[in-house]
Every structure is written in C-alpha cells, then in structure tokens.
Amino acid sequence: MSHKNNQTIRCTVNQCRYHEQTENYCSLDGITVGTHETNPTEDKCTDCLSFERGK
Ligand code: SF4
C-alpha cells in the first residue's frame, strides 16, 4: 500500500497504520475525531476514530 503524505493532517501516532512514517503526517484524505467523554474539557478527551492498529 503506498502512503501519500497529506500535509493537512499532522499526527504523531506512528503506531497507526495510516501514519506516514517518515514525517508526522496522516496519509488519509480526511479523518473523524470523536470523544470518549460525556463532557470533554481537554485535548486528551478527544480521539482519532480513524485510527487503526499498524501492521
Ligand atoms: S488515522 Fe488518525 S491516528 Fe491514524 S495517522 Fe491518521 S490522524 Fe493519526
């Protein structure tokens, strides 16, 4: 699978299969962000729902 470097989504989660490994970018055209909290108050309350475990 060829990864393209989408320079509009920065990401440091290099354990994700969609992470562009040489730089801190996501290779997807778009992602979905959500929350696991009922009342999110900080950045750590949010999650990338497009995350998939790397190979
Ligand atoms: S899908 Fe989400 S976690 Fe995975 S590289 Fe893209 S932005 Fe990062």
What is the pTM for the complete model shown? Answer: 0.85
Q: If DSSP codes are grouped into helix, strand and coil, which group holds residue 45? A: helix
What integer is the mean pLDDT of 13-31? Answer: 94
Query: 7 falls in which pLDDT band (50, 70, 90)?
Result: confident
Q: Average of pLDDT values for 34-49?
A: 98
Does 3 score more than 70 pLDDT? no
For the chain, give the longest Cα–Cα distance.
Answer: 38
What residue ranges do the domains of the chain occupy? Answer: 1-55
Q: Whose CA is nearest to atom 6 of ligand 1?
A: 26
Give residue for tokens 């970018």.
25
> What span, in angstroms and rounded, lies between the C-alpha atoms of 9 and 24?
9
The answer, yes or no, to whether any atom of ligand 1 lies below 6 A from the CB of 6, is: no
Give the per-residue pLDDT at 10. 95
Average pLDDT score over the chain: 91
Contact 16, 52 (CB under 8 A): yes
25 CB near ligand 1 (under 6 Å): no
Tell me which residue has its CA closest to atom 3 in ligand 1.
51
